[in-house]
Homo-oligomer: A and B are copies of this chain.
Amino acid sequence: MSNIRDVAKQANVAPSTVSLVLNKTGYVSAEIRKRVNKAIEELNYTPNELGRNLSQKRSNIVGVTMYDITHPFCNTLVKYIELYLSEYGYKTMLCCTSFGRNTEREYLYMLKRHALDGIIANVFSANEPIETDRPLVLIDSFINENIPIVMSDHHQEGRLAASLFIENGCKHVVHLTVNKVMKSPAYERNNVLEQILNGNGIRTDAIELSNHSRELNYFSNMSKLLFDRYPDVDGIFGSEIFICECLKQAKIRKIRVPDDLKMVACDGTYLSELNDITAIVQPFKKIAKKSVDIVVGLAAGEQISAETFEFKASVLKGKTTAV
Contact = CB atoms under 8 A, between A and B. Distances in A.
Interface of A: 46-51, 53-54, 57-59, 61, 64, 68-70, 72, 75-76, 78-79, 82-83, 86, 91-96, 98-99, 101, 103, 109-110, 112-115, 216, 241, 244-245, 248, 269-271, 273-276
Contacts of A95: 91
A78 B103 contact: no
Contacts of A269: 70
Contact of A50 (B64, B93, B114, B244): B114
Given A54-B50, A276-B248, A69 B61 contact: no
A50 B46 contact: no
A103 B90 CA distance: 13
B113 A49 contact: yes
Nearest to A56: B50
Nearest to A215: B270
Contact of A51 (B54, B82, B276): B54
Contact of A112 (B46, B57, B82): B46
B96 A83 contact: yes
Contacts of A46: 109, 112-113
Given A78-B94, A83-B96, A244-B274, 13 more contacts: A46-B113, A50-B57, A61-B61, A61-B93, A69-B78, A69-B79, A69-B82, A70-B72, A70-B269, A82-B96, A86-B101, A91-B115, A244-B275
Contacts of A61: 61, 93
A119 to B, nearest CB: 13
B241 A110 contact: no
Contacts of A114: 48-50
Number of copies: 2
B57 A68 contact: no
A78 to B, nearest CB: 6
Contacts of A92: 93-94
9 contacts: A46-B109, A49-B113, A50-B115, A53-B53, A69-B82, A70-B269, A91-B115, A216-B270, A248-B276
A212 to B, nearest CB: 16
A293 B183 CA distance: 39
Question: Which 8 pairs of residues, A with B, have the shortest CB-CB distance?
Answer: A49-B115, A49-B113, A94-B94, A50-B54, A54-B54, A92-B94, A244-B274, A70-B75
Contact of A48 (B86, B101, B113, B241): B113
Contacts of A110: 49, 91
Residue in A61, A82, A86, A274 whose Cβ sees the most chain B Cβ within 10 Å: A274
A319 to B, nearest CB: 9
Nearest to A219: B274
Contacts of A76: 70
A69 B216 CA distance: 19
A159 B86 CA distance: 42
A248 B274 CA distance: 8
Nearest to A53: B50
